[in-house]
Structure 1
Amino acid sequence: MAHKIESELETKQGFTLNVLEDLTEDEKAIMKSSLRKRDFRILPIVILLYICALMDRSNIGSALVNGLVNGLKLTSTQEGNVTSMFYVFYIIFETPSNILLKQFTPHFWFSFIGTAWSVCCIILGIIKSGTLFVIFRCIMGVFEAGLTPGVVGYLAYWYTRKEIGFRMTIFFSAVPISGIIGAPLAGALASIKIKSLLPFQNIFVFEGAITCVVTIASFFLVKDYPDQAKFFTKEEYDLTIKRIHADQGMASKSKVSGKQTIKTLLDWKLWVMSIIFLGYNNAYIVLGIFSPTLIRSFGYKSITATYLAVIPNAAGLLGVCVVLLFVNKRSYTMLMLIFAVITIACYSIAVFHRNKISSLVFLGLTGFGAIGNIPLSLAWMSVNQGGIYKGMIASAFVVSVGSISGVASPRAFVTKFGPNYVVGNVIYIAGVGLSSILLVFLSLYYKRQNEYRDKNPVDVSHLSEEEQRNMNDAHPNFRYIL
């Protein structure tokens, strides 16, 4: 049964903000049981939702090589717009969507936006006009905008900062899994002969219908807040709530604040992190959407290229598994730099030393590095905000800026720039390089701040809990995770 938060938490007794006490052996056993229950109830449904979102978002790549351009008689401008305009609206609505998430409950919000974008996906398989197709891709972007930053923020409702990295990585395993499932599924659907539908239309109609079923089910499966959960024992509840409350605060208690929103958006560190994610996310987006296009440019047929696009995603899943092994053992910075080097080296070989076999192999290895950096970069951003509401706004803003690559990159991979796509390839490599330089800079800043706070303690006990919460990562007890 659900329990009321102990009065000691309300009166700021029994814990210190941003400081987690060491656990006794008995408490470790209690937390292990609590984590197991949270993982089982929180992660599977949001992973399934994200897999559906990624498939519905990225199936445009499979449609492009299976007759979309000729089927709807798209102009060169429309060919770019069917991908890029989705991301324009996706970017615009991400931050407002996370604010709305705080106004509604997670189970309602995720189910609503998911059902809405799945209906849009189905409609894409029915309409006959290129203009209408672009319009519904835009509407789809509006509704999908709420999922990725929403779940990044939502995980902080349920886990402490030290627990989030592992769970964030599990969540983002949906990225390669969606590609592993989506590529062969799209190929199979495109091969089905349905009298009234063209091959690319099959992809949208059937994948959209699958998503619709999952998102309706999510209304009943998504759990809202830990302090309202009914699946803990009393001991699990008390210890879990105490630690989450001390670490990042309770999501059910945080409120939408215009002042905090502006303060968050003016934080220069947020802008640096956004540019870091922009370069790393571009590496994934190009693979996620244009793997079939690139593989076809290596000399493979369209249907074959659609199936072979599973290879970068399979390698990416292996990359995510490696992240799971090391995320709590090595620094985020070191891991991200290693994955970035792999991404740059393998992609360069794949696209600049063209060979039908070796290019395919190295494009696959690119997925290992590029996809591995997605959970690492977003988890690193999330754990260094210092509060639930700032984390919600930060995750939306970072993902929004990162999604700019979805607007720009498609313009460099349209048919007229094939088969070498030189501009797109140069942007890809330069973006990962710039992100890595900024990563080192921000990590060094975090390290210096931690050292300064260790040597210069500040007493803020005279401030109320709310005033201390509003300090976020500027709180003297807060330490950045490198």
Structure 2
Amino acid sequence: MFSRWNSSSTSTPATVAYPNNWSRSHLDSLSKIVVRKYDVRIIPLVFLTYTIFWLDRSNIALARVNGLEQDLGLQSSQFNASLAVFFAFYILLNIPANILLRRIGGGTFLPALMVAWGIATLCSGFVTNFAGLCASRAAVGAAEAGFLGGVLLWLGFFYTNDEIVSRIGILLSSMPLSGSLGGLLAGGLSRIQAGSYSRWPWIFFIEGALTVVVGIIAYFVMPDTPATASFLTGEEKIAAKARMILLDHRSFVRRIAFVPSNSSSNSDIPKSRRNSTHPEAARNETVTTIRFSTTLDIPATIIGASSTDRIHKSTWRRAVLHPVTLFMTLGCFFTVESIYAYNLFVPTLLVEMGFTGVRNPLMTVPPNIFAFLYTICITQYSQRSRRVALPLMVSACLATLGFLFLLIGSFAGGTDAQRGEPIIVKPLQYAGTFLAGAGVSASTPLAMSWLCVNANPHYVRAISLGFVIGVGNFAAFLASYAYIKTSAPRYVEGHSINIAFNACLLLVGVASLWWMRRENARREQGGRDHRLQDLPPGVSRTEHEMLLGWDHPRFRFHM
């Protein structure tokens, strides 16, 4: 169930005084207009940036099958080591990058990251040895560190929890689509010969330059928040702010009143509904006062936002040590290993199936198109059914089956009696790439969505996302060495690892679902009400309730 309030509550806080004396229907009407504008102006651009993000991340796999190892003289597992260098910098900078985004603004920070990693990608085409390759991969990893979690955080300024799941699904479906696009581009770019550069360098030259151009365009188009969105009118900006307070980040503080910015904070609210220190009053009669400008052409502002949305000492504890964060960190660890192993080594697996030369990148297109369509469908189902756990577990099962096909296909044909080499069952293995690609591609947006719709307030979301992505990406080191030359052509170790990890992802999904159901039931019975009484010194009751976030007794976990 997706509801965040208990069974006696309605879909919005029980006592609401809307800004500028609006009616609920007027705010709902404006909200629909605002969301439509977001979908038209924000989602297509971010989808493009995400596609480029995944394209630049996986282009080294296509460069590998187009002569990179031979031209650079890489020995043994040096290619795998260069992949590990990328993830080292990517992991270290995740949390700092997320906090910087919150302070600098997504409209500035995210395009700057794009330009930085675009330049680093372009320079990768000039490397001539192993050291140069490692340096370029380190630069790309450092620049990309804040982008994945940063975009998810940035979307949280615009979309409510009930809206964001399908949008994250659309955006992260760009991952398999970029695989298809990368395969088509590599098929053409690898034929370019100009001067002393031929084949693989042009993959980096063209894709890196494209990233820089899109990053510059994004700087002039992406707003930091709804208040700075040029495509919203003044009235729509107020509605955008109000709906987020009512329906998303502060929804568990059930008594909300908007008052003019020139009035006292409690003067327009009856005494019986002002902030109270009594536990029952805190549970049933608390009023959160939000000051809004009464002039519709002036962007709405929340008085006191700086005090309730800053990083407190307890914020780190509530973010990093929360059971949901720990569950999602495990889930991210398992799904990250699988998605990177798949994206980085599918071209290599296709070589063992006999698809070489120009055919190799082209044969990556059908599985990636299937994964793209599956990801769109399963995340839309998640949005409509108001479930996240079930689609995630189904996707984990699908990925497990896909890697099982790949493993069985490497043994089912037996061994060539004359040459003593394994006979690969191509149809079975190629079918496995479809199932594995679909499962791992959908698991990532579903896992990230599950965290995003629960982590609260915003700085908790920023830290927990950075922690989950950062720690979870330690699995990328394992993915970098999952498929090594010495295990070719069967790659038993790599397939077995991915089967085990997706089975573990399924178990994490079951455990998370069990914990959330138990915790929601405990809160329904009043088992967490004592948290409202533990008021820290120097903190107002309203601020305390907002800072509690997903630890608030009235918060209900999305499942």
**What residue number does 2:413 align with?**
none
Residue 269 (structure 1) aligned with residue 329 (structure 2): no
- Residues 1:305 and 1:14: Cα distance change in structure 2 (over 3 Å): same
Matched to 1:227, the amino acid is A
Cα distance between partner residues in 2 of 1:257 and 1:177: 40
**What residue number does 2:396 align with?**
340
Aligned residue for 1:288, secondary structure, equals: helix
The residue correspondences of 1:191-202 to structure 2 (distance < 5 A) are 191-202=191-202
- 2:409 and 2:426 in contact (8 A); partners too: no
Displacement of 1:233: 4.2
Q: Which moved more, 1:167-176 or 1:266-275?
A: 266-275
**What residue number does 2:344 align with?**
289
**What residue number does 1:7 align with?**
none
- 2:324 and 2:451 in contact (8 A); partners too: no
**What residue number does 1:466 align with?**
543
Displacement of 1:24: 5.5
- 2:93 and 2:142 in contact (8 A); partners too: yes
- 1:31 and 1:239 in contact (8 A); partners too: yes
Matched to 2:397, the amino acid is V
Equivalent pairs, count: 465
**What residue number does 2:363 align with?**
308
- Residues 1:299 and 1:333: Cα distance change in structure 2 (over 3 Å): same
**What residue number does 1:399 align with?**
469
Aligned residue for 1:329, secondary structure, equals: helix
Q: Which moved more, 1:55-64 or 1:298-307?
A: 298-307
Cα distance between partner residues in 1 of 2:398 and 2:449: 20
User: Which structure has the larger Rg over C-alpha atoms?
Assistant: 2
Deviations 1:268-292 (A, max 9, x none): 4312211112212222212211110
**What residue number does 1:58 align with?**
58
- 1:99 and 1:256 in contact (8 A); partners too: no
Q: Which moved more, 1:455-464 or 1:67-76?
A: 455-464
Residue 326 (structure 1) aligned with residue 326 (structure 2): no
**What residue number does 2:276 align with?**
none
**What residue number does 1:8 align with?**
none
**What residue number does 2:487 align with?**
417
Q: What TM-score results when the alignment is normalised by the length of structure 1?
A: 0.91
**What residue number does 1:45 align with?**
45
Aligned residue for 1:191, secondary structure, equals: coil
The residue correspondences of 1:136-175 to structure 2 (distance < 5 A) are 136-175=136-175
- 2:337 and 2:478 in contact (8 A); partners too: no
Cα distance between partner residues in 2 of 1:94 and 1:235: 36
Displacement of 1:161: 1.0
**What residue number does 2:257 align with?**
none
Aligned residue for 2:224, secondary structure, equals: coil
Cα distance between partner residues in 2 of 1:85 and 1:312: 28
- 2:388 and 2:450 in contact (8 A); partners too: yes
Structure 2 residue runs without a partner (length 5+): 1-12, 18-22, 251-301, 411-424
Cα distance between partner residues in 2 of 1:226 and 1:15: 22
Cα distance between partner residues in 1 of 2:238 and 2:109: 28
**What residue number does 2:123 align with?**
123
Cα distance between partner residues in 2 of 1:26 and 1:402: 43
Deviations 1:202-254 (A, max 9, x none): 11111101111001111101111123334334554333312212321589743
Residue 448 (structure 1) aligned with residue 524 (structure 2): no
**What residue number does 1:248 align with?**
249
- 2:105 and 2:224 in contact (8 A); partners too: yes
Aligned residue for 2:197, secondary structure, equals: coil
Displacement of 1:391: 0.7
Tell me the C-alpha RMSD between the 2 structures: 2.3
**What residue number does 1:364 align with?**
434
- Residues 1:156 and 1:368: Cα distance change in structure 2 (over 3 Å): same
- 1:287 and 1:312 in contact (8 A); partners too: no
Cα distance between partner residues in 2 of 1:284 and 1:71: 27
Structure 1 residue runs without a partner (length 5+): 1-11, 17-22
Aligned residue for 1:412, secondary structure, equals: coil
Residue 384 (structure 1) aligned with residue 454 (structure 2): yes
**What residue number does 1:72 align with?**
72
- Residues 1:230 and 1:203: Cα distance change in structure 2 (over 3 Å): closer
**What residue number does 2:553 align with?**
476
Displacement of 1:358: 2.6
Cα distance between partner residues in 1 of 2:242 and 2:145: 32
Cα distance between partner residues in 2 of 1:87 and 1:469: 35
Cα distance between partner residues in 2 of 1:296 and 1:351: 16
Aligned residue for 2:383, secondary structure, equals: coil
Cα distance between partner residues in 2 of 1:160 and 1:444: 25
Cα distance between partner residues in 1 of 2:84 and 2:361: 20
Displacement of 1:345: 1.0
- 2:108 and 2:224 in contact (8 A); partners too: no
The sequence identity of aligned pairs, in percent, is 27
- Residues 1:422 and 1:232: Cα distance change in structure 2 (over 3 Å): same
Q: Which has the higher helix share?
A: 1
**What residue number does 2:419 align with?**
none
Cα distance between partner residues in 2 of 1:453 and 1:152: 28
Which of these residues, 432, 443, 447, is aligned with residue 373 of structure 1?
Answer: 443
Cα distance between partner residues in 1 of 2:474 and 2:175: 18
